[in-house]
Amino acid sequence: MAVSDETPWRITAKSLTYNEKEGTYLAEGDVVITKSRQTLYTQRAIFSVKTEIAKVSGGLRLETDGDIVTGKEGAFNLNTQTGEIVDASLFLSANHYYIRGSHMEKVGEDTYVVKEFTLTTCDGTHPDWTITGSEVNVTIEGYGTVKNSAFRVRGLPIIYVPYMVFPAKTKRQTGLLPPRVGYSTLNGGEAEIPFFWAISDQTDATLYARYMSRRGYMQGAEFRYMADENSKGVIEFDILSDKEKTKNMTDHDKLEISPFERTNSTRYWLRGRADQNLPLSVVARFDADYVSDQDYLREFDEKLFGFS
């Protein structure tokens, strides 16, 4: 989100007047302030030539490289690219983070501090999950830190988190991925926390823990590699110690899945596929799929994370 200091700011508006005594410009009506890739939209702005501070009101929208800040009103130093916003919302496009708060400070070109915040990756006004807390500090192409927060599912607090770090990078980076939540009649309430491991430029892995209120904890891993466009592969493994030790053969819903009995409680799914270039223009192909029982794919095929 860095903007070149050598590029001049440009202000357009329906009305633009200059107060020579105070050295300020008053811009009113569809105000647009631009510099390089950064654009600020508002309805009213007072810009001081001496301090290079623009005070804006009537709503504001600041766009930079796909990232969007909105708010009720604010003040910006156009030289240092710092400022503060009231009733603010920050959208980080690369990670699809929405961060909202009562007060936001832009403390640098790429760093924001938000008070009394709500964080989510869900679209819409009623997200499935949120993290709420007293303060979040986020730096684009860096990390975000959260203090005194609670993880909530549909508004209900699930766990208290005193401190948390999350990535805010467009490049591949080891760290926790956004949690995901869901609900199904078979498995009950579900929550999943994935961890991404950037092993090297050619290999990476994702580890996850998935909690299902009716079935227990499922753990899984996905390993990927790409040596080149024609030499690549993926291996996945999930395992669950099912709370439902055996299949209830009197349950109509269970019989609709399959008419066969299930007696195992340890349930798993191993699958993988790969293409590999070999000498003499030979291409080797690998495809494996092994599942613990006949019902597994019908009960757990709609994964919150990964592919089925």
Q: Is residue 227 located within the same domain as residue 164?
A: no
Q: Are 224 and 203 in contact (CB under 8 A)?
A: yes
Q: Which of 171, 191, 221 is the last residue of a domain?
A: 171
pLDDT for position 122: 86
Q: Are 131 and 118 in contact (CB under 8 A)?
A: yes
Tell which residue, 151, 143, 147, has the closest CA to residue 135.
147
Q: Which of 110, 142, 171 is the last residue of a domain?
A: 171
pLDDT for position 35: 79
Q: Is residue 278 located within the same domain as residue 185?
A: yes
Q: Convert 141-198 into a string of H (helix), E (strand) and C (coil).
A: CEEEEEEEEEEEECCEEEEEEEEEEEEECCCCCCEECCCEEEEECCCEEEEEEEEEEC
Q: Has residue 4 got a pLDDT over 50?
A: no
Torsion of CA 24, 28, 30, 32, to 10 degrees: 0
pLDDT for position 151: 85
Q: Has residue 230 got a pLDDT over 60?
A: yes
- Other beta carbons less than 10 A from residue 250's beta carbon: 7
Q: Which of 148, 171, 194 is the last residue of a domain?
A: 171
Q: What average pLDDT does the segment 75-84 reach?
A: 85
Q: Are 293 and 262 in contact (CB under 8 A)?
A: yes
pLDDT for position 266: 95
Instruction: State the chain's mean pLDDT as an integer.
Output: 85
Run of H or E residues at 32: strand 24-35
**111-125, 158-172, 194-208: lowest mean pLDDT where?**
158-172
Q: What percent of the chain has pLDDT over 90?
A: 32
pLDDT tens digit string along 82-125?
889 999 998 988 778 899 999 999 888 788 899 999 988 888 88
Q: Are 62 and 43 in contact (CB under 8 A)?
A: no
pLDDT for position 305: 39
At residue 246, the 3 state secondary structure works out as coil
Q: Is residue 73 located within the same domain as residue 151?
A: yes
pLDDT for position 142: 77
pLDDT tens digit string along 133-163?
888 988 877 778 888 888 888 888 888 878 8
State the pTM of this model: 0.57
Q: Has residue 3 got a pLDDT over 70?
A: no
* Distant-in-sequence, close-in-space partners of 245: CB < 8 Å, separation ≥ 6: 265
Range of the domain at 18: 1-171
Q: Is residue 32 located within the same domain as residue 165?
A: yes
Q: Is residue 176 located within the same domain as residue 162?
A: no
Q: Is residue 51 located within the same domain as residue 32?
A: yes
Sorting pLDDT into bands at 50, 70 and 90, what band is 270?
very high
Q: Are 46 and 25 in contact (CB under 8 A)?
A: yes
Q: What average pLDDT does the segment 292-298 reach?
A: 90
User: How big is the chain by its Cα radius of gyration, in Å?
Assistant: 26
**Which two three-digit tokens encode residue 177?**
């991925």
Q: Are 222 and 206 in contact (CB under 8 A)?
A: yes
pLDDT for position 70: 92
* Distant-in-sequence, close-in-space partners of 125: CB < 8 Å, separation ≥ 6: none
Q: What average pLDDT does the segment 3-18 reach?
A: 78
Q: Is residue 165 located within the same domain as residue 177?
A: no
pLDDT for position 307: 34
At residue 124, the 3 state secondary structure works out as coil
Q: Are 261 and 247 in contact (CB under 8 A)?
A: yes
**36-40, 115-119, 163-167, 226-230: lowest mean pLDDT where?**
163-167
Q: Which amino acid is at 25?
A: Y
Q: Is residue 307 located within the same domain as residue 177?
A: yes
Q: Is residue 134 located within the same domain as residue 6?
A: yes
Alpha carbon of 93 to those of 64, 112, 129, 169: distances in Å? 10, 15, 18, 10
* Distant-in-sequence, close-in-space partners of 21: CB < 8 Å, separation ≥ 6: none
Q: Is residue 202 located within the same domain as residue 304?
A: yes
Q: Can you tell me which residue has the tokens 């195992």? A: 264
Q: What average pLDDT does the segment 7-18 reach?
A: 87
The residues with which 133 forms a beta bridge, in sequence order, are 117, 149
Q: What average pLDDT does the segment 22-34 reach?
A: 91
pLDDT for position 71: 93
Q: Is residue 86 located within the same domain as residue 7?
A: yes
What CATH number is attached to the domain comprising 86? 2.60.450.10
Q: What average pLDDT does the segment 56-85 reach?
A: 88
Run of H or E residues at 116: strand 111-120
Q: Is residue 129 located within the same domain as residue 49?
A: yes
Number of domains the chain contains: 2
